[in-house]
Amino acid sequence: MAHSDDLTRRMLLKGAAGATALAGLGMPAIVKAQSDVIRIGHLTPITGFLGPLGEFAQMGVKLAAEEINAAGGVLGRKIELVIEDSVNPQTASAKAERLIERDKVAMIIGEISSASALAIGQVANRTKTVFINTGANSDALRGASCNPFMFHIEAANSMMVTAVGTYLKTENMIKGKKWYSLTADYAFGHDLFRVAKKFVTENGGEFIGEELVPTDATDFSPYLLKIRQAQPDIVASNLAGNQITNFIKQYAEYGLQFPITGFGFDTAVAWGAGKGNFSGIWPLIWHHMVDTPSSKKFVEAFTKKYGKPPENQCWGDYNSLKIVAQSFTEMKAADPQKLAEHLRKGAKFDVLKSREGYFRAYDNQMVQEMYAVRAKDPDKMKDQWDIYDPLGSVPGPNEDLEALAPPKDGTCKMQA
């Protein structure tokens, strides 16, 4: 009897230890209460198919916090990050509320999924807390779903399309060309395809194939055979995340020669494809070869800290925190209530590009330059990060920055 008692107790102890360990997992990274700090919430997916990008987002925002604090903080107070995994829209919404109500964060930075960004945006609006979206592209977030507390440093889908489309036009890849597109079969893909198709057809191109690809597809060979059968002039990707990696790897495997382009893109998916697989012209909100002094400084600091160059997702989260710090300094008060007002007044920010960016009051979208890149010849790559050459920026140096912003079509109605 004594023996079995002992066993039960030991098992109970083990169970308790396990439960404690599990409970620990649910806690935010930093919970120490300090009154002389400014707390900023960071909420982005680090698990699931957007996880690889979320990891880069965290790297970016941590570097920004380190730099700000090393320079003495904001108005003499240190920045303290409270970092969470947003997982999905329901969790994102619950965690946003918890960050605001329990952790008392001054504002929230993050997100990549458009659905989760919408959920956080609604919490932001209700609690009058600023949320800067660093990765969600859906135009609807800047249109019908816009609100005065949700800001977008990330480009809208229509901006991605215009950025790469401008270069496709100069390369004579649109007018009179037959296009074949593969689109991720969910909200983001549909939204991206809608704006891409509009751009291509308005500029004289024609779609001879438009396929929807389920997000859980890992083998693309049946699609590749269909593309080969259709003999298009251009193959366009509206795919998402890891899908793009699989697609470009297998496109190279099947040896198809039709030029590739894509309207949605992140450098990580091409870095992850491997040598000799990546090809085509793609849009980016920023890349590590942007040749401005502040950009070079960022790349240098990032590479020193993490041993690899920053991905474009790092850029959004890094700059968002810098923007908040700069705003509080300019306002001479870390006043969360007035932050939205300040950002909406058109304050300008160095976002590591040749021209400063600003949030426009119409839809809170950051108006800024974007870039297009072309895949490099594999023999000319210096290392695994050196995979593309910059094509230049959109809008061009003499054009109005607003030329790239989404059209003011009246769908965004900001409540006062």
Please provide the distance, in angstroms rounded to a whole number, between the alpha carbons at the two ends of the chain. 73
Which amino acid belongs to residue 231? Q
222 scored as a contact of other proteins (CB under 8 A)? yes
**CA 110 to CA 81: how far, in whole Å?**
12
For other proteins, the binding residue among 5, 36, 219, 400 (CB under 8 A) is 219
Residue number, 203 or 250, with CB nearest to other proteins: 250
List the interface residues with other proteins, window 152-191 (CB under 8 A).
185
Tell me the three-class secondary structure of 208-237, residue by residue.
Answer: EEEEEECCCCCCCHHHHHHHHHHCCCEEEE
User: Is residue 56 close enough to count as binding other proteins by CB under 8 A?
Assistant: yes
> Can residue 242 be called a binding residue for other proteins (CB under 8 A)?
yes
Q: Which amino acid is at 200?
A: V
User: Which one of 28, 41, 54, 89 is in contact with other proteins (CB under 8 A)?
Assistant: 54
Q: Name residue 251's amino acid.
A: Y
Taking only Cα atoms into account, the Rg of the chain, rounded to an integer number of angstroms, comes to: 23
Q: Helix, strand, or coil here: 108? A: strand
Q: What part of residues 257-276 is at the interface with other proteins (CB under 8 A)?
A: 268-269, 271-276
Nearest distance from C-beta of residue 135 to other proteins, angstroms = 14
Q: How far is the CB of 239 from other proteins (least distance, A)?
A: 12
Q: 276-305: which residues touch other proteins (CB under 8 A)?
A: 276-277
Q: Of the two residues 211 and 233, which places its CB atom closer to other proteins in the complex?
A: 211
- Binders of other proteins: how many residues, by CB under 8 A? 45
**Residue of the chain from 37, 43, 46, 370 that contacts other proteins (CB under 8 A):** 46
Smaller CB separation from other proteins, 128 or 226: 226
Rounded Cα distance between 373 and 284, Å, is 7
Closer CB to other proteins, residue 172 or residue 229? 229
- Residue 310 contacts other proteins per CB under 8 A: no
Quote the tokens at residue 35.
Answer: 């009154």
Binding segment (CB under 8 A) for other proteins, from list 162-170, 191-199, 210-218, 281-289: 210-218
Virtual CA dihedral for 50, 51, 55, 58, nearest 10 degrees?
70
Contacts with 111 (C-beta within 8 Å, 6 or more apart), sequence order: 43, 44, 45, 86, 92, 117, 120, 131, 133, 134, 135, 136
Shortest reach from residue 278's CB to other proteins, in Å: 9
Segment interacting with other proteins (CB under 8 A) among 40-48, 67-75, 99-107, 330-338: 40-48
Task: Between 291 and 383, name the residue whose CB sits nearer to other proteins.
Answer: 383
Q: Which of 102, 126, 124, 128 is nearest to 111 (CA)?
A: 124
C-alpha 331 chain-centroid distance? 28
Which of 53, 61, 56, 54 shows the shortest CA–CA distance to 30? 61
CA distance 180 to 9: 65
* From 17, 202, 254, 402, residue interacting with other proteins (rule: CB under 8 A): 254
Q: Does 253 bind other proteins (CB under 8 A)?
A: yes
Q: Any contact of residue 311 with other proteins (CB under 8 A)?
A: yes
Kindly list the residues in this chain that would bind other proteins in the complex (CB under 8 A). Answer: 46-49, 51-52, 54-56, 185, 211-214, 216-219, 221-223, 225-226, 228-229, 242, 245-246, 249-250, 252-255, 268-269, 271-277, 311, 384
